[in-house]
Structure 1
Amino acid sequence: MFSRWMFARLRAAENALHQGRIDEALRRLSEPDVRDDRRAQKLTDELARALLARARVQAQGGSYRDALSDLQSLEALGRFTPDAEALRKRAEDELRARVGRHQAREEAFAKAAADVQQGRLESGRLAVEKLEDPQGREQLREELDIRVQRSAQLLDQANEALRRGDLLTACRLWEEACERHGRSRPSDELAGQLVAAYRTAMDEWFRAGRLERMLAGLDATRALRLFAPELNEYENRARLLRRAVEQLAGLDSSGLHDTLLRLRAAGDAEWISPVMQAAQQIAEARGALLASPLGLLGLSLHRITLIGTPPARGEGHNGGVERPAAGPPGAALAGGLLLLIDGTGSSLLTTRDLLRIGRAGGGREIDVPIPADIQSHHADVVRDGEDYFLIARGPVRVNRQPVVRRLLRDGDRVVFGPNAKLTFRKPSVKSDTAVLLLSDRCRLPRDVSSVVLFRGTCVLGPQPSCHVQTREGDSRLVLFERHGELYVRKAARDGQPTGPAAPLPMRQTKAFGDVRMTVREYEPG
């Protein structure tokens, strides 16, 4: 009975194969009990020939996936021949190439679509014409034509506004056309006309003193400046104008004079010279007031400020530092302090706004007693806000020029006599503290090589931007005042404080990182 049943199954597979139903014959002959029957082998050989023939036809017709499926079935039957292997390799190569071509077409369409959608009209048109897909090419052509028409409409409106002299509207419409539909040859041509018109207009507004109009026009040219970097020179002029306004509001007449000089170099205008003269008159009047006995007395007693003085940088902000409830307090800043740093030397720390400089032994009222042949009271250094003025009472040269009154700047070299020289330093714009670096021959008692005119904060470290340069270690520290006492905390490379603050007690050596320091009362004698 089993033999009859097997015969019937083989007969059904044979009929399916001879009638061209190859897949049915494959299914019947792939059944385990049929495949292992001896009588099925001849029929399987015939099926293998049919599968190989069909795979060849499918490969020739470009149906590579179907061809590979038949070859896989052939391999499962155990009838895989060298001819079948060669056919499979060719079909796989062709299928891989087809997939690559399809992917390349998709990428080309995506790139062309992105160019059109992002407004790159010229490059988008070239990319669209290269597309192999007719349907995709026609779709993008229609979208491209719509964008070109809308861009042309905006550019026509911008040209009309330019002809009317309405530069702000013309620039806004040009920018809208570029943002929505991208740059094109007409938009680039209009940009060139706008640049020329804006240069002429802003020069005219600057010379006529219509500064608000000039700044408004400059704000409207943000996108245009990307196209024409030469317009950035007006941005520099605008920065100078804003700085001059801040200096005028802060009554910084000296800084205002310098800024006006830069403005005149950037573009001369008749209104600049009268403003410079007024600023110079204010500076001279301010210097005369500071040099007067009344001004010196008021500054020395901390009773008056001739010109509104803002709080020192760093004052009023301590990152939440509070005076500790226990432990030794920081050194009091009531008088001069001697700051000793291991491996670096000594510095005199003073908070006085009026510093008297004179000959050592000339009198107890002298704050900086220099051991040299100069007058007993030779000069004063006066602090006013963030500025420091030198007022000469004897012969003084600053940068080889004789002076009577002088606004000191970072790096100024001051000479009182042959062996009495110092350099003025204000190394950090973030602090109002300044330093007088004394030459080797005029060091003060206790081997003091520098006088720190302390105001709020003082930075210690090996970098040139520090007020006191240490010679050993890499630590950077910030010395600051809270509650009339000195505190120290570590600082990052940019000078910003990091970590907790600690008091700097009097007459105790403290280590902060790799810096060891001590503060004592300063006694010149």
Structure 2
Amino acid sequence: MVRPARDVFHWQPFSRISMGPLGIAKKFFLWVDEVGGFLVCPQPTVTVGHLDSSEADVALSGDLESRHLTLMREDDLYVLEAHGPVYLNGRPVQRSILPERCALELGNCVRLQFLRPHPLSASARLEFASGHRTVPSTDGVLLMARNLILGPQPTAHVVCHHWQEPITLYWTGDALRCRGSGLLTVDGKAVRGEATLSLSSHVEGARWRFHLEPA
């Protein structure tokens, strides 16, 4: 039997950012130069629905219910709960634990790929397999647990082929931090190794750059 998702996070709110019930940022955008843009959802429960829905954390264009699908992260598992027609690898489902890689079809047209790329991270990625997108348009959705890895490795949550070294975004206490191996420039200031970020920070390295934006 699938256990209900537990509230395993206890972070405090960031100022000026929309907060979920656990005190962490409900969602924000990650824009990576020469790679793409991603909607980041750190909450352990994320709803997917119609573009005009105020109930959906991930609102997509397409013929969907206002709350079509809920994804719940419980420890290192993801549990799917369908509120509208959902197909998991071609089979209709109402509730299911997701495998580490699978295809999801919502309604008759919206197709997503679910992927857990890193074996030591509970964070996951939703890729758009059909032409449906968020607004503003992004290249995917990152379901962020403790950390996100950006880098050239295929196990990164955001694969950045031209980067030389990985960068990790991670939560510690009530702060979102960034860790790299060399000199970083964060909001115009040079730092070495690690830095605390706001959800509007600009971060640069020798040959790469990304910034965050509240959703």
Q: Larger Rg: 1 or 2? A: 1
Q: Is the 8 A contact 1:419 1:441 kept in 2?
A: no
Q: Does 1:357 align with 2:34?
A: no
RMSD: 2.4
Equivalent of 1:501, from 179, 194, 201? Answer: 194
1:53-132 matches, within 5 Å, as none
| Residue matched to 1:389 | 79
Equivalent of 1:450, from 133, 140, 148? Answer: 140
Q: Does 1:380 align with 2:73?
A: no
1:32-431 matches, within 5 Å, as 283=1, 286=2, 290=4, 304=6, 333-361=24-52, 363-431=53-121
Q: Is the 8 A contact 2:112 2:130 kept in 1?
A: no
Q: Is the 8 A contact 2:55 2:66 kept in 1?
A: no
Deviations 1:413-453 (A, max 9, x none): 10003431111111112111111112351111122221111
Give the superposition deviation at 1:408. Answer: 0.7
Q: Does 1:464 align with 2:154?
A: yes
Deviations 1:48-95 (A, max 9, x none): xxxxxxxxxxxxxxxxxxxxxxxxxxxxxxxxxxxxxxxxxxxxxxxx
With normalisation by structure 1, the TM-score equals 0.35
Partner SS state of residue 441, structure 1 = coil
Name stretches of at least 5 consecutive residues in structure 2 with no aligned partner.
Answer: 10-14, 183-191
Cα distance change on mapping 1:491 and 1:396 into 2, 3 Å: farther
Partner SS state of residue 131, structure 2 = helix
Higher RCO (Cα < 8 Å, 6 or more apart): 2
Partner SS state of residue 412, structure 1 = strand
CA distance in structure 2 between the aligned counterparts of 1:438 and 1:485, rounded to whole angstroms: 30
Partner SS state of residue 406, structure 1 = strand
Runs of 4+ in 1 over 4 A off after TM superposition: none
CA distance in structure 2 between the aligned counterparts of 1:448 and 1:403, rounded to whole angstroms: 27
Q: Is the 8 A contact 2:44 2:145 kept in 1?
A: no
Percentage of pairs with the same residue: 24
Partner SS state of residue 136, structure 2 = helix
CA distance in structure 2 between the aligned counterparts of 1:424 and 1:359, rounded to whole angstroms: 19
Name stretches of at least 5 consecutive residues in structure 1 with no aligned partner.
Answer: 1-282, 291-298, 312-328, 493-498
With normalisation by structure 2, the TM-score equals 0.81
| Residue matched to 1:90 | none
CA distance in structure 2 between the aligned counterparts of 1:373 and 1:364, rounded to whole angstroms: 15
